[in-house]
């Protein structure tokens, strides 16, 4: 009764990463999905339960391409609700780190630094909830080798907190709105309400 | 004719969970209120609030997720920290603190935003019109992502 | 129930608690606390006049506090015996009931709790189960939203003898609900509260749904479930019937219930697992199917009756497959849900089985027990030698079978209570107790025989009879290969594996020793494994201090189903021995021998041990000579 091990399975790879240990405990009750705001706020393909299922069913490429892998912001609303006590965002993070290892890129617009204006004050580093920003010595055209902020696109979740704290407006997430358009919109509305001065 | 106070509502797009409330805020907001929808309360640049105050808004409501339930882990705490500081400055230049209100909303608070807004409107009406601050300059804030 | 009460040989005692249990199978002395009812049972004719005049109303717990009852009350109209009872916590002593009772003179406020001692042959425990309180699950809003009710409340609202006479109404506005949601697995299959399945809730919610649908075919019922479990005969057909009747089933555990503050209608948020889509549906009323949990005083009962509890808190049976009705204590049997959640057919079956098991005891003059019981040598007990009984044996006994009456009198084993684990024997510091058929001398003789030839190559494995021995058996029958140098020794429990045996094994030059037994929750002798485990960890520390090579002493808990583990552990131990050069190993064994002998100073004094040593020396000599000749 001596069988050779059947090589490495995807699910074992996920389980080897801290956070992904309990992926196989999922019995597909769907609590996490109905707790999750991403699906309810307009991303119908987002489904953590299905991602866990994909991992269990060895669907490696599909899980790397799944929106769930990239859009989960680790808010952990699902974690306290899970009856099997699975740290779901931990599992998703494990899949994501495997995907990054396999040269996959995130499908979100991540934060970008304007290296010409960045003064490396470090406010964004403190504000970032994902610890995705670091101050790194970089060679910048016209400015020489200086310290500027640098974003790890694998960790950034595009919340924009960095752009709100930046005093030199040199970091931000490319979004459908800009600071200018928000202010302009506010102004137009106030004008329409009849402000004389 | 008595005009209703002008209120700017900054909303994090993940809060105001229940669908009917969200629909109401998106479509049926009275014309005296203006909605700015952002990914997170942490994304609210103090510049926005300053501009609203300068522009003559009588009140500002910031609605976001409950402190431990932020979609971006702790973006709302960052916002709270930043705006508490900023409100000191506003207070100093003559825009009362009580004209800015934070509303933390949960999925279970069905129908609460309407009540909060009505309550806030009544409070602002009592305070009267906001002091006219120096109007803004038309200079662009500058920078690539401004 | 009425039949039972009228039977001449059945004595129903209500409002009575078991206070204390002494004695053993066939000869229990049970102290009962008969609580004061403040009504003389023989005189009360159940007319209810006292309740009618009573001015006090308190919530009726039988109606899940949905309706009031008086301070003079019977819990329910079918109560047996029909004797009223006065709730003194609520009573204001107006004595109107005394006047109303009149000439019967059944009410007696001077009554007090009575302690009654009874001789009992066998006991059947049927204390049932309790319900999980869903108000701790914030997401479902029970106790915050009026229209979220529990299954037991539904049961009362739905009952024709209930507070609404069977008219199902919602608590917020007393209207008949048209759209209902039932949520299964509330607090069960949930690691945050109760990880186990409550067994009957699936069928129970289907039953309730069918009942409601029969009363009013227009109601719309959705059952939210994780899995529908219909394991018994006819259950799946019942489930089919529910589907035929138009009851909706939605797979997916709701994560949240929200309420419309105006209408008090409820919104159930859940993912429909089949569609992979989050739904928010509106209902008039939501019923939570709470988990079944052990009674709140189950721990207290288990210490009164001296029966163990399984990890979930339920009473633990003697053997989960072969003796599911017996408790580990002879003469105590379980019926119904006190032993684990059960539906009605299983409870009835277990009740009948328990009564027939109990009658077996009542009809016999003598009672057979295992022959491997413990016996005390009174002259060696510290009570005799030093005049002070140490009581270590009594503390170790999982069954409370050892009596220490006073410091001067030697310990005494109640043979009828002893199950033969041997914990007391191994624990006794004076070696004043022995276990029949597993005496120190017998085990020593076995050890000497297996370690007679080339002991440094041998791995001596102490296996407990119920688990590791079975595990080793399974390893054999499933053809898991393990080292041929293993020599197994069977004892009844890991609690019997005396430190002396381990020292003696190393003194005889054993290469390695395995100390194996059941997993903690599987122990056949309630807490025997815990005693063994404690001793094993002590031994591990001692050997570490002696600087013995890691892995020469190993402690493993191997169940009878883990043949593969047994083989693996043995092979790993063999690998450890293979890694040490033979000369080094021999040197280490020689070096540790004086240490071991020092610890074994008292061992030859144990009755029979010296003789066994002498006799086995002769045998060993004979074996060696035979080998040399060959």
Looking at the structure, do residues C457 and C396 belong to the same domain, yes or no? no
Of the candidates C226, C269, C479, the beta carbon closest to that of A29 is on C226
- Per-residue confidence (pLDDT) for residue A168, from 0 to 100: 86
Residue boundaries of the structural domains of chain A: 10-101, 112-192
Query: Residues B61-108: pLDDT tens digits?
Result: 999 888 888 889 888 888 888 888 888 888 888 888 889 999 888 888
Q: Which residue has the tokens 């049927």?
A: C126
Query: Residues C507-523: pLDDT tens digits?
Result: 999 999 999 999 988 88
| Gap between the Cα atoms of A86 and A71, Å rounded | 19
Q: Which chain A residues have a beta carbon less than 8 Å from that of C134?
A: none
Q: How far is the CA of C226 from the CAs of A23, B139, C152, C270, in angstroms?
A: 18, 60, 21, 11
Contact between C288 and C183 (Cβ < 8 Å)? yes
Looking at the structure, do residues C214 and C86 belong to the same domain, yes or no? no
Torsion of CA A39, A45, A49, A52, to 10 degrees: -130
**C581 inside domain:** yes
Helix (H, G, I), strand (E, B) or coil at C41: coil
Q: How far is the CA of B70 from the CAs of B8, B100, B110, in angstroms?
A: 22, 20, 18
Residue boundaries of the structural domains of chain B: 7-127
Cβ-Cβ contacts under 8 Å for C290 (sequence gap 6 or more): C131, C132, C133, C134, C150, C151, C152, C186, C187, C188
Chain A: give the shortest CA distance to residue B4, in Å.
10
Q: Which chain A residues have a beta carbon less than 8 Å from that of B44?
A: 164
How is residue C462 annotated by DSSP? E
Contact between C333 and C325 (Cβ < 8 Å)? yes
Looking at the structure, do residues C64 and C74 belong to the same domain, yes or no? yes
Query: Residues C128-183: pLDDT tens digits?
Result: 999 999 999 989 999 999 999 999 999 999 888 888 988 999 999 999 999 999 99
Query: Phi/psi at B14 (nearest 5 deg)?
Result: -95, -15
Q: Residue A165's closest chain B neighbor by CA?
A: B45
Task: Provide the percentage of residues in chain C whose pLDDT is more than 90.
Answer: 70
Of the candidates C191, C253, C480, the beta carbon closest to that of A31 is on C253
A vs B, Cβ pairs < 8 A, gives: 136
Looking at the structure, do residues C148 and C271 belong to the same domain, yes or no? yes
Selected for mutation to probe chain C from A3, A28, A29, A68 (highest C CB count within 10 Å) is A29
Chain C: give the shortest CA distance to residue A83, in Å.
4
| Gap between the Cα atoms of C437 and C433, Å rounded | 13
| Gap between the Cα atoms of A144 and A140, Å rounded | 5
- Per-residue confidence (pLDDT) for residue B146, from 0 to 100: 44
Looking at the structure, do residues C102 and C233 belong to the same domain, yes or no? no
* Residue B134 CB coordination number (10 Å): 8
Query: Phi/psi at C157 (nearest 5 deg)?
Result: -65, -25
pLDDT at C349 over 80: yes
Q: What would the mean pLDDT of C366-386 be, rounded to a whole number?
A: 89
| Gap between the Cα atoms of C514 and A65, Å rounded | 51
Q: How far is the CA of A22 from the CAs of A26, A55, A87, C334, C592, in angstroms?
A: 8, 12, 8, 36, 45
Q: Given pLDDT bands bounded at 50, 70 and 90, which one contains residue A7? A: low
Q: Residue A156's closest chain B neighbor by CA?
A: B72
Looking at the structure, do residues C488 and C561 belong to the same domain, yes or no? yes
Cβ-Cβ contacts under 8 Å for C542 (sequence gap 6 or more): none
pLDDT at B137 over 70: no
Query: Cβ of C568 under 8 Å from any chain A Cβ?
Result: no
- C397: tokens are 């006994």
**C301 inside domain:** no
User: What is the enclosing helix (H) or strand (E) of C424?
Assistant: helix C423-427
Q: Which chain C residues have a beta carbon less than 8 Å from that of A85?
A: 191-192
Looking at the structure, do residues C137 and C269 belong to the same domain, yes or no? yes
ipTM score of complex? 0.87
Cβ-Cβ contacts under 8 Å for C593 (sequence gap 6 or more): C506, C507, C509
Return the closest-CA partner of residue B23 out of C270, A42, A160: A42
- DSSP-assigned states of every residue in A42-58: T-TT--HHHHHHHHHTT
Query: Residues A152-188: pLDDT tens digits?
Result: 988 898 888 999 898 888 998 888 888 888 888 888 8
- C392: tokens are 């270590």
Q: Residue B23's closest chain A neighbor by CA?
A: A41
**C454 inside domain:** yes
Query: Residues C464-476: pLDDT tens digits?
Result: 999 999 999 999 9
Interchain proximity A29–C478, CB inside 8 Å: no
**C303 inside domain:** no
Cα C62 from chain centroid? 28
For the domain that residue C154 is a member of, what is the CATH number? 3.50.50.60
**C333 inside domain:** yes
- Per-residue confidence (pLDDT) for residue A6, from 0 to 100: 67
Query: Residues C57-66: pLDDT tens digits?
Result: 999 989 888 8
Query: Cβ of A159 under 8 Å from any chain B Cβ?
Result: yes
Chain B: give the shortest CA distance to residue C218, in Å.
28
Beta strands of C400-552 (E only): which ranges? 402-403, 412-413, 433-435, 459-464, 486-491, 512-517
Range of the domain at C332: 312-361
Query: Cβ of A144 under 8 Å from any chain B Cβ?
Result: no
Count how many domains chain C has: 5
Q: Which chain A residues have a beta carbon less than 8 Å from that of C253?
A: 29-31, 83
Of the candidates C189, C192, C273, the beta carbon closest to that of A30 is on C273
Query: Cβ of B44 under 8 Å from any chain A Cβ?
Result: yes
Q: Given pLDDT bands bounded at 50, 70 and 90, which one contains residue B17? A: confident
pLDDT at B143 over 60: no
Query: Cβ of A100 under 8 Å from any chain C Cβ?
Result: no
Q: Which chain B residues have a beta carbon less than 8 Å from that of A74?
A: 73
Helices then strands, each counted (H, E), chain A: 10, 4
Q: What would the mean pLDDT of C83-91 be, rounded to a whole number?
A: 92
Q: Which chain C residues have a beta carbon less than 8 Å from that of A39?
A: 277-278
Looking at the structure, do residues C324 and C275 belong to the same domain, yes or no? no
CATH top class, domain A112-192:
alpha beta
Looking at the structure, do residues C468 and C602 belong to the same domain, yes or no? yes
Q: Given pLDDT bands bounded at 50, 70 and 90, which one contains residue C102? A: confident
| Gap between the Cα atoms of C191 and C200, Å rounded | 19
- Chain A neighbours (≥3 Cβ pairs under 8 A) are B, C
| Gap between the Cα atoms of A170 and B142, Å rounded | 9
Contact between C436 and C371 (Cβ < 8 Å)? yes
Looking at the structure, do residues C468 and C447 belong to the same domain, yes or no? yes
Q: Which chain A residues have a beta carbon less than 8 Å from that of B13?
A: 41
- Per-residue confidence (pLDDT) for residue C112, from 0 to 100: 92
Contact between B20 and A158 (Cβ < 8 Å)? no
Greatest pairwise CA separation for chain C in angstroms: 104
* Residue A14 CB coordination number (10 Å): 24
For the domain that residue C426 is a member of, what is the CATH number? 3.30.70.20
User: What is the enclosing helix (H) or strand (E) of C52?
Assistant: helix C49-53
Give me the CATH topology for the region B7-127.
Rossmann fold (3.40.50)
Q: How many residues does chain C have?
A: 630
- DSSP-assigned states of every residue in A4-34: ------HHHHHHHSTT-TTGGG-----HHHH
| Gap between the Cα atoms of B38 and C286, Å rounded | 35
Of the candidates B47, B51, B146, the beta carbon closest to that of A187 is on B51
Looking at the structure, do residues C393 and C330 belong to the same domain, yes or no? no
Q: Which chain B residues have a beta carbon less than 8 Å from that of C280?
A: 18-19
């Amino acid at each position: 009764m001596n069988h050779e091990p059947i090589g490495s399975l995807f699910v074992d790879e996920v389980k080897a990463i801290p956070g992904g240990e309990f992926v196989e405990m999922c019995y597909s009750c769907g609590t996490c999905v109905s707790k999750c705001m991403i699906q309810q706020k307009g991303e119908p393909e987002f489904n953590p339960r299905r991602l866990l299922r994909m991992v269990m069913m060895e669907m490696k490429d599909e899980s790397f391409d799944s929106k769930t892998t990239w859009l989960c912001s680790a808010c952990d609303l699902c974690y306290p609700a899970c009856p099997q006590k699975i740290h779901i965002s931990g599992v998703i993070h494990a899949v994501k780190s495997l995907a990054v290892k396999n040269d996959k890129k995130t499908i979100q617009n991540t934060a970008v630094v304007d290296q010409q204006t960045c003064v490396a004050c470090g406010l964004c580093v403190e504000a970032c909830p994902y610890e995705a920003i670091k101050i790194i010595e970089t060679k910048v055209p016209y400015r020489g080798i200086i310290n500027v902020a640098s974003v790890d696109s694998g960790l950034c979740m595009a919340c924009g907190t960095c752009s709100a704290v930046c005093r030199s407006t040199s970091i931000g997430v490319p979004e459908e709105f800009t600071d200018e358009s928000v202010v302009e919109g506010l102004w137009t509305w106030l004008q329409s309400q009849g402000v004389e001065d | 004719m008595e005009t209703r106070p002008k209120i700017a509502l900054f909303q994090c797009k993940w809060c105001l969970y229940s669908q009917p409330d969200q629909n109401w805020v998106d479509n049926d907001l009275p014309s005296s209120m203006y909605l700015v929808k952002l990914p997170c309360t942490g994304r609210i640049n103090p510049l926005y609030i300053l501009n609203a105050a300068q522009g003559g808004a009588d009140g500002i409501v910031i609605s976001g997720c409950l402190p431990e339930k932020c979609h971006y882990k702790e973006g709302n705490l960052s916002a709270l920290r930043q705006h508490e500081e900023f409100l000191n400055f506003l207070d100093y230049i003559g825009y009362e603190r009580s004209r800015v209100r934070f509303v933390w909303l949960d999925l279970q608070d069905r129908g609460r935003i309407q009540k909060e807004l009505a309550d806030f409107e009544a409070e602002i009406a009592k305070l009267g019109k906001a002091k006219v601050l120096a109007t803004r300059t038309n200079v662009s804030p500058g920078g690539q992502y401004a | 129930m009425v039949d039972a009460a009228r039977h001449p040989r059945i004595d129903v005692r209500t409002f009575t608690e078991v206070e204390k249990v002494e004695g053993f199978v066939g000869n229990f002395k049970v102290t009962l606390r008969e609580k004061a009812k403040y009504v003389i049972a023989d005189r009360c004719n159940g007319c209810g006049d006292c309740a009618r005049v009573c001015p006090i109303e308190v919530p009726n717990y039988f109606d899940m506090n949905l309706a009031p009852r008086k301070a003079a009350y019977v819990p329910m109209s079918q109560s047996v015996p029909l004797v009223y009872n006065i709730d003194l916590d609520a009573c204001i002593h107006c004595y109107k009931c005394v006047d109303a009772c009149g000439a019967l003179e059944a009410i007696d406020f001077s009554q007090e709790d009575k302690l009654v001692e009874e001789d009992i042959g066998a006991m059947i425990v049927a204390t049932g189960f309790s319900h999980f309180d869903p108000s701790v699950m914030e997401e479902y809003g029970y106790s915050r939203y009026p229209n979220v009710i529990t299954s037991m409340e539904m049961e009362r609202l739905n009952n024709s003898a209930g507070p609404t006479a069977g008219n199902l109404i919602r608590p917020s506005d007393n209207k008949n609900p048209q759209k209902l949601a039932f949520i299964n697995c509330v607090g069960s299959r949930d690691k945050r509260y109760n990880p186990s399945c409550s067994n009957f809730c699936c069928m129970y919610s289907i039953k309730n749904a069918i009942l409601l649908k029969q009363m009013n075919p227009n109601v719309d019922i959705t059952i939210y479930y994780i899995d529908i479990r219909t394991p018994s005969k006819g259950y799946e057909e019942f489930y089919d019937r529910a589907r035929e009747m138009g009851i909706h089933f939605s797979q997916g555990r709701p994560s949240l219930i929200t309420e419309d503050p105006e209408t008090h209608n409820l919104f159930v948020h859940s993912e429909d697992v089949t569609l992979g889509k989050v739904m928010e549906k509106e209902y008039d009323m939501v019923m939570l199917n709470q988990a079944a949990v052990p009674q709140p005083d189950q721990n207290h009962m288990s210490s009164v009756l001296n029966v163990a509890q399984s990890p979930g808190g339920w009473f633990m049976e003697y053997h989960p497959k072969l003796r599911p009705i017996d408790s580990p204590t002879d003469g105590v049997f379980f019926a119904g849900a006190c032993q684990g959640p059960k539906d009605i057919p299983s409870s009835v079956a277990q009740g009948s089985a328990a009564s027939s098991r109990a009658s077996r005891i009542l009809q016999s003059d003598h009672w057979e027990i295992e022959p491997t019981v413990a016996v005390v040598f009174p002259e060696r007990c510290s009570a005799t030698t030093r005049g002070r009984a140490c009581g270590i044996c009594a503390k170790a006994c999982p069954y409370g079978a050892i009596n220490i009456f006073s410091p001067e009198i030697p310990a005494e084993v109640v043979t009828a209570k002893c199950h033969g684990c041997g914990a007391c024997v191994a624990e006794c510091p004076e070696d004043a107790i022995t276990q029949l058929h597993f005496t120190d001398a017998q085990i020593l003789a076995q050890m000497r025989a297996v370690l007679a030839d080339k002991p440094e190559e041998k791995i001596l494995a102490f296996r407990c009879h119920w688990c590791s021995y079975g595990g080793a058996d399974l390893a054999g029958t499933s053809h898991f290969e393990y080292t041929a140098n293993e020599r197994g020794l069977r004892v009844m429990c890991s609690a019997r594996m005396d430190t002396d045996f381990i020292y003696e094994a190393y003194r005889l030059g054993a290469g390695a020793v395995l100390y194996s037994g059941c997993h903690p929750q599987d122990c056949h002798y309630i807490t025997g494994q815990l005693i063994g485990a404690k001793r094993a960890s002590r031994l591990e520390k001692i050997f570490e201090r002696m600087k013995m090579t890691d892995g020469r002493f190993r402690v493993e808990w191997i169940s009878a189903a883990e043949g593969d583990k047994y083989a693996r552990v043995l092979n790993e131990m063999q690998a450890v021995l293979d890694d040490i050069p033979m000369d080094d190993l021999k040197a280490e064994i020689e070096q540790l021998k004086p240490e071991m002998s020092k610890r074994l100073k008292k061992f030859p004094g144990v009755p029979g041990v010296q003789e066994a040593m002498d006799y086995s020396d002769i045998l060993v000599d004979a074996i060696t000579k035979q080998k040399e000749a060959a």
